[in-house]
A and B are shown apart, each in its own frame.
Chain A
Amino acid sequence: MTTRPAHRDILSVLDRPNSYIGKTVPRPNLDRLLQGRGLYVSDIELPRMAHVVFLRSPHAHAMIMAIDGGAAKRLPGVIAVVTGKELAAVITPWVGVLSHLKGLKSAPQSAIAIDRVCWQGEAVAAVVATSRAAAEDAAEHVTVEYRELEAVTDMRTALDPKTPVIHSALGDNLAFERTHDAGQVDRAFAQSDTVVEAEFVFGRHTGVTLEPRAVVADWNAAEARLTIYQGTQAPHMVQNIAALHLGLQEQQVRVVCKDVGGSFGIKVHIYADEMATYALSKLLRRPVKFVADRIESFNTDIHARDHRCMGRIGVERDGTITAFEIDDLTGIGPYSMYPRTSAIEANQVVNLVGSPYVTKNYRARARVVFQNKNLMCQYRAVGHPIACSVTEGLVDLVAMKIGVDPVEIRRRNLIADDAYPCASPSGLRFEKLSHHASLDKLLGMMDYQLLRAEQAELRKKNIHRGIGIASFVEVTNPSAAFYGVGGARISSQDGVAVRLDAQGSVICQTSITEQGQGSESLTAQIVGSVLGVSMERVRVILGDTDNTPYGGGTWASRGAGIGGEAALQAAKSLRKNILDVAAAILQSTAAELDIVSNSVVDADDGTPRIELKELARVVYFRPDTLPPGIQPELMATRHFVPREYPFAFTNGVQASWLEVDAETGFIKLLRHWVVEDCGTIINPQLVDEQIRGGVVQGLGAALFEKCIYDERGQLTNANMADYLVPMAAEMPDIDVGHVVSPTAESELGAKGAGEAGTAGAAAAVANAVNDALRPFGAIVTEIPLTPQVILTALARI
């Protein structure tokens, strides 16, 4: 292998010889998971470890009149039965608000309910025993006397004067309201040739991580230190919150995160039962383990979506969109989730509706109301599926009405690819998007005209297939604008430390976390490429607040864009340090040297000069042989946070091809296409798999997934048999293509890709269903698109 000396200085670090950037390489350490030798929190056992089981409220809203744990305490193996009042001695309550979400209010929430329960599944007592089975047995012997209260369940009537107020101190059930008015909406609608209005309904669903939430909290009373083993996306956030509410300094709390069995945003929050587990460990002075069972997961893992959104669109005769207007309503349960709050999704909906399009006329209102159901908060693609489904649903409905092809109306209205930088009507600043290039690529991949012809032929045979297209904009690489400005101690910057070990391998500590996205791989790829070290010699350490730099973690599609850039800069710095030492050893200059394939070489002709392992040996064991005054620094640390743009917006477009059985209402997905622009692609395979996985979660929401509550606030399908998720047989193959517009904000140029699939999948499916149902004149604007919804739209039931 040879270097290209003439261009070495102007070559980006990404284009170096043997670069791993842009290459598909297998993720390091996958064999651990393939052989069943991972370490998930549910696998962890510690000496003297006790198990906690939470007794949970069967009522959606009730006063707790009395709790009697006496009989339970006498059972074998039982260590303690602890109520909310007792636990309050060691942990303080919290309120899930952020100051930049103006007017957002919530009530104090306790780790275990005190006096009153506000949703079915809220913990009322903790039973701690030597085994989980013993704790479960004992929990059956704890008696709780409740006085049921009226449950607020329908978000549409939550603000009615006759509806009870869940938290009387708050005055009403309105948690948050945001309005936005840009351009001249009334005039635009008045001058439109056609206006279409529809109500879009989104089911409440949840993440269903295959490993339930799990935590082992280990308070060492002698060290006055709490170690928390938790499957979390944000270890430093957990450290901050646990310390804050247990009255500790952050340095007294260590959060360790090994393998995590799925997250998707479910594990970026801090749940009351997790707080209770930390507190129980402190109270009982021993390790305590909590692993949610599946019913608890359904009743307490955050739910998402649950929106009803009125939407309006106006167009001119030629299909030019004149204005968008929405009125969104969402129910978030009895508390705003801590610490990220439950107002972010509605806020995102306001931000994102209409964002791919040119029109500047946009009016929005979003209201977020309390109800006696499980808490709702940020889950993969927060707000995006709502905004995308409303926007793209309206675009298709109005196109249908004026007889314009769905592709044509998008071509006419999507922001031009050369119009950047520009801003959306809600004020989002776009650095560089590629809607038209993405749409063109998508149409080529799916062979749009051929599919239209096939659709027409099949219609003659009474086979109803549809094509649905959805363009979208996605928020990635969030700066402090997301949480920090609102007062949350959630880091928006990430840090990476790299060091050369004594055998010339590289140890890399990063503050981003791994839940299967490939954080470890992308970090090793970047560090290996920049340093000139082969990837198998780069060891990545993550998920440990004692052993990584401070940072945000992996959420909001930020790992590659922010953590990746920190890795790049840290590796550049270490590379410079290594070359300085090499120059001293070789009596050369750093400019004349390079590192290639684990050796320092002559930059001009690639002649090997000294292997890194030999350089490390000299530095660590024979520094006496170095010239005087040389103090090598074979470790470097760098941090990164975007400063120019609050968010690195990405864009993409999806298409669905499906068949609707008009007799049964069943939908068969035949094919799905995605074109996405996430800037620099570090590992094409990992990006594509993030997109496919994201699409399938979006397809689940589109077709199957819904937490079904009855009018008394009882979740009626809290198990995997009744709550349907996508399985292999129902899912189509998904083709993924890319347009690449790197962000200039970082040297790496990467934007996020983890949520794009989920953002647009449901919109593409819903549009395809309406396209398929066109001969019947039926229109659906509700997901999940169950057979019941389809047959109702067809007036067959």
Chain B
Amino acid sequence: MTAPMPISLQVNGERVDTHVLPRLNLADFLREHLHLTGTHVGCEHGVCGACTVRVNNEIVRACLMLAVQTHGASVQTIEGLSDSGEVADLQAAFRDRNALQCGYCTPGMLMAAQDFLLQQAEPDREQIREHLSGNYCRCTGYQAIVDAVETTARSRKAHK
């Protein structure tokens, strides 16, 4: 089980056919093989949330999933979500509220926040805080992030 294995998958809507070592995790695959460096690596053991991506519409820790497990799957990263415009309003809210400082947690934070907003259209602050508690931010103290997510939820509801 140490020889490279073939995998085929969709990444941000583009088909990828390649060979990877079975031990390669999804975060390293995205960053080092596909050069999608928006997926960040903070702890490499599933705690910090910086590497959060979407696989088949579920958010996962890319450091805890092997690349070979994504064979046949559809993977979306922050680059894909940005280009499709899916999170443009959330990104604008983060920008206006300065809900990021160094920006290292931000792609994972946006992934987690978007996932939450798709599940819960009218969250209160406590629910937002609870849901984002799988994503570390060392810069902001979280309040600005909670504000930005809350603002986005309200504005999406108003525009529905």
- Complex interface bits, B18-30 against A, C-beta within 8 A gives 1, otherwise 0: 0001010000000
Instruction: State the majority secondary structure of interface residues on A.
Output: loop
With contacts A35-B78, A728-B129, A728-B133 taken as known, whether A696 is within 8 angstroms of B142 at the C-beta atoms is yes
Contact at B145–A728, with CB atoms within 8 Å?
yes
Q: Indicate if A178 sits at the interface (CB-CB under 8 A).
A: no
Contact at A692–B40, with CB atoms within 8 Å?
no
Cβ-defined partner of B128 (8 Å) among A208, A260, A693, A728: A728
Contact at B130–A210, with CB atoms within 8 Å?
no
Cα distance A263–B110 when bound, in Å? 21
- Residues on B with C-beta less than 8 A from A720 are 42-43, 45, 47-48, 136
Q: Indicate if B95 sits at the interface (CB-CB under 8 A).
A: yes
- Complex interface bits, A512-524 against B, C-beta within 8 A gives 1, otherwise 0: 0001111000000
- Residues on A with C-beta less than 8 A from B11 are none
Contact at A734–B141, with CB atoms within 8 Å?
yes
Instruction: State the majority secondary structure of interface residues on B.
Output: loop
- B-facing residues in A33-56 (Cβ within 8 Å): 33-40, 42-43, 45
Contact at B98–A261, with CB atoms within 8 Å?
no
- Residues on B with C-beta less than 8 A from A294 are 42-45
Contact at A210–B94, with CB atoms within 8 Å?
no
Q: Indicate if A485 sits at the interface (CB-CB under 8 A).
A: no
Q: Indicate if B59 sits at the interface (CB-CB under 8 A).
A: no
Cβ-defined partner of A211 (8 Å) among B94, B96, B104: B104
- B-facing residues in A658-711 (Cβ within 8 Å): 685-686, 689, 692-697
Contact at A210–B110, with CB atoms within 8 Å?
no
Report A765 CB to chain B, min CB distance, Å.
Answer: 14
Q: Name the residue of chain B whose CB is nearest to the CB of A32.
A: B103
Q: Indicate if B152 sits at the interface (CB-CB under 8 A).
A: no
Q: Indicate if A130 sits at the interface (CB-CB under 8 A).
A: no
Cα distance A62–B100 when bound, in Å? 43
With contacts A34-B82, A731-B142 taken as known, whether A259 is within 8 angstroms of B102 at the C-beta atoms is yes
- Residues on B with C-beta less than 8 A from A644 are none
Contact at B43–A719, with CB atoms within 8 Å?
yes
Cα distance A692–B139 when bound, in Å? 9
- Residues on A with C-beta less than 8 A from B153 are none
- Residues on A with C-beta less than 8 A from B138 are 207-210, 262, 264, 693, 697, 725
Report A528 CB to chain B, min CB distance, Å.
Answer: 18
- Complex interface bits, A704-746 against B, C-beta within 8 A gives 1, otherwise 0: 0000000000000001110001111111011000000000000
- A-facing residues in B110-141 (Cβ within 8 Å): 110, 125-126, 128-130, 132-141
Interface size on B, residues (CB 8 A): 56
Q: Which of A23-31, A396-404, A426-434 contacts B (4 or more CB under 8 A)?
A: A23-31
- Residues on B with C-beta less than 8 A from A260 are 102
Contact at A30–B102, with CB atoms within 8 Å?
no
Q: Indicate if B9 sits at the interface (CB-CB under 8 A).
A: no
Cα distance A210–B105 when bound, in Å? 7
Cβ-defined partner of B133 (8 Å) among A42, A43, A729: A729
Contact at B103–A692, with CB atoms within 8 Å?
no
- Residues on A with C-beta less than 8 A from B143 are 692, 731, 733-734
Contact at A35–B38, with CB atoms within 8 Å?
yes
Contact at B101–A689, with CB atoms within 8 Å?
yes
Contact at B78–A36, with CB atoms within 8 Å?
yes
Cβ-defined partner of A31 (8 Å) among B37, B41, B91: B91
Q: Indicate if A15 sits at the interface (CB-CB under 8 A).
A: no
Cβ-defined partner of A210 (8 Å) among B38, B39, B136: B136
With contacts A211-B102, A693-B101 taken as known, whether A728 is within 8 angstroms of B142 at the C-beta atoms is yes
Cα distance A729–B116 when bound, in Å? 15
Report A658 CB to chain B, min CB distance, Å.
Answer: 16
- Residues on A with C-beta less than 8 A from B98 are 26-27, 518, 685-686, 689
- Residues on A with C-beta less than 8 A from B42 are 210-212, 261, 294, 720
Cα distance A518–B102 when bound, in Å? 9
Report B108 CB to chain A, min CB distance, Å.
Answer: 9
Report B101 CB to chain A, min CB distance, Å.
Answer: 3
Cα distance A686–B101 when bound, in Å? 9
Contact at A26–B95, with CB atoms within 8 Å?
yes
Contact at B37–A515, with CB atoms within 8 Å?
no
Cα distance A719–B136 when bound, in Å? 13
Report B100 CB to chain A, min CB distance, Å.
Answer: 6
- Residues on A with C-beta less than 8 A from B97 are 685
Report B18 CB to chain A, min CB distance, Å.
Answer: 16
- Residues on B with C-beta less than 8 A from A614 are none
Q: Name the residue of chain B whose CB is nearest to the CB of A209.
A: B138
Q: Indicate if A293 sits at the interface (CB-CB under 8 A).
A: yes
With contacts A294-B44, A689-B101 taken as known, whether A34 is within 8 angstroms of B141 at the C-beta atoms is no
29 contacts between A and B (CB under 8 A): A30-B100, A33-B100, A34-B94, A34-B100, A34-B106, A35-B79, A37-B82, A42-B37, A133-B21, A133-B23, A208-B138, A210-B105, A210-B137, A262-B139, A263-B102, A515-B101, A516-B139, A518-B101, A685-B97, A689-B140, A692-B144, A727-B133, A727-B136, A728-B137, A729-B126, A729-B132, A731-B141, A731-B142, A733-B125
Q: Which 3 A-B pairs have the closest CB atoms?
A: A36-B38, A33-B103, A516-B101
Instruction: List B residues at the A interface (Cβ < 8 Å).
Output: 21, 23, 31, 35-45, 47-48, 50, 77-79, 82, 91, 94-98, 100-107, 110, 125-126, 128-130, 132-146
- 20 further A-B pairs in the complex, CB-CB below 8 A; given A34-B95, A37-B82, A40-B40: A26-B98, A34-B103, A35-B38, A35-B78, A35-B91, A38-B103, A210-B42, A210-B102, A211-B102, A259-B103, A260-B102, A294-B44, A685-B98, A692-B141, A695-B141, A719-B45, A720-B48, A728-B132, A728-B146, A730-B133
